Amino acid sequence: MELKQWSDVAPDEDDPVLCHISSCNQPVLNPIEQVRLYCEYLVNFNGAVAGHLERGTGVAFLHNATEFDVAALCEIESD
């Protein structure tokens, strides 16, 4: 689980795995991509499930944002 206090976030126009938040001048990793990479790492680290990414799940929770504020982040393509 990735917790973010972000309330205002927009996807990067050039790279969907990045996004922009008001508190940072440079693009940051989209929380959905961040969680996907965490899951990939954890699954591959554990020999019992290595190579079976579908066995790991995660969630990004932006608890200060409304659904409207973060809807565009969900348009990221998944592998």
| pLDDT tens-digit readout, 15-56 | 989 999 988 999 999 999 999 999 888 888 888 887 777 777
Q: Is it the case that residue 5 has pLDDT exceeding 80? A: yes
Q: Which pLDDT belongs to residue 25?
A: 92
Sign of CA dihedral 58, 21, 65, 6: positive
C-alpha–C-alpha distance, residues 17 and 36, integer Å: 11
Q: Which pLDDT belongs to residue 55?
A: 77
Q: Which pLDDT belongs to residue 37?
A: 92
Domain interval for residue 63:
2-75
Number of structural domains found in the chain: 1
This prediction has a pTM of 0.78
